[in-house]
Amino acid sequence: MVSPRAQSYAQRALKQKNPTAKLLLETMERKKSNLAVSVDVTKTKDFLAVIDVVGPYTHIDILEDFDEGLIRQLQDLSKKHDFVIFEDRKFADIGNTVALQYSSGVHKIASWSHITNAHPVPGPSIITGLASVGLPLGRGLLLLAEMSTKGALTTGVYCEEAVRMARTRRDFVIGFIAQRRMEAVGLLQGEVGDDDEDFLILSPGVGLHAKGDTMGQQYRTPKEVVLGSGCDLIIVGRGIYGNDLSLTQAIAERARQYMQEGWEAYMQRITTS
């Protein structure tokens, strides 16, 4: 059996049972991109402008002028630029509450976001609650198995338990927010990994040069993340959209650069693994 690390995104797409995992891998292969852009801005106008320049992904809950019209525009852009939508909500409550947060409220995330994510900290009930809403819609969930911030508590047993939890719900959990591959993590003594297991690994904390910000974020390069650690997608935010949202040329150029470095690292990985 070949490890997911050594297979192409196209090969892995063929075997995925969750429709969102399949869609994501096919899209990555088609666009030759393993870049997820995190657009953390607070105005709809800026949000749509940046996305129109670069591609996927955001925090919808920091937009001050959110409305349903925005979602339609986001979906239009998703078709125009062929990207998958990932609302990085980081659900972290009990099953009953996350089911309401995912389906209801102002944002109605489940109705438009292909992928969302959750912390495993409340235990398996958070997956049950989200799956009760997302599975009928064909959505996929990522668990936050690791965080890239300084002093994060996602170490040791915490991370192992997250992976074990995911293994019990492979119909809905399509992968992890993490810094490395998880096939070997959380196996009990004598337990052998399932050859069919193929979780997607999405990694934040990626920068071309930068080493950190003042609020505890730490960075690694695309090559370290994709080739070195075998992660599948790089998540980049301020590293692409920067501090001046009007400089669309520069934003597009940075996106292109991350996309290229991420893809080259992936090509090197599947040809040398």
**Residues known to be catalytic:** 88, 90, 93
Q: How far is CA 240 from each of CA 1, 158, 266, rounded to the nearest angstrom? A: 37, 31, 20
Q: Which of residues 42 and 75 has its CB atom nearest to a copy of itself in the complex?
A: 42
237 carries a ligand binding annotation: yes
Applying CB under 8 A, the residues found at the interface with a copy of itself are: 40, 42, 59, 61-64, 66, 88, 90, 92-97, 99-101, 104-108, 119-126, 128-129, 144, 147, 149-154, 156-158, 161-162, 165, 213, 215-217, 238
Q: Which of residues 14 and 153 has its CB atom nearest to a copy of itself in the complex?
A: 153
Q: Which of residues 25 and 234 has its CB atom nearest to a copy of itself in the complex?
A: 234
181 carries a ligand binding annotation: no
148 carries a ligand binding annotation: yes
Q: How far apart are CA 82 and CA 211, in angstroms?
A: 31
Tokens of 94: 């009990």
Are 36 and 234 in contact by the 8 Å Cβ rule? The answer is yes
* CB of 89 vs a copy of itself, minimal distance in Å: 9
* CB of 83 vs a copy of itself, minimal distance in Å: 21
217 carries a ligand binding annotation: yes
Q: Which of residues 33 and 203 has its CB atom nearest to a copy of itself in the complex?
A: 203
238 carries a ligand binding annotation: yes
Of 94, 78, 24, 91, which is closest to residue 102 (Cα–Cα)? 91
Annotated binding-site positions = 40, 148, 217, 237-238
Annotated binding-site positions for substrate = 40, 148, 217, 237-238
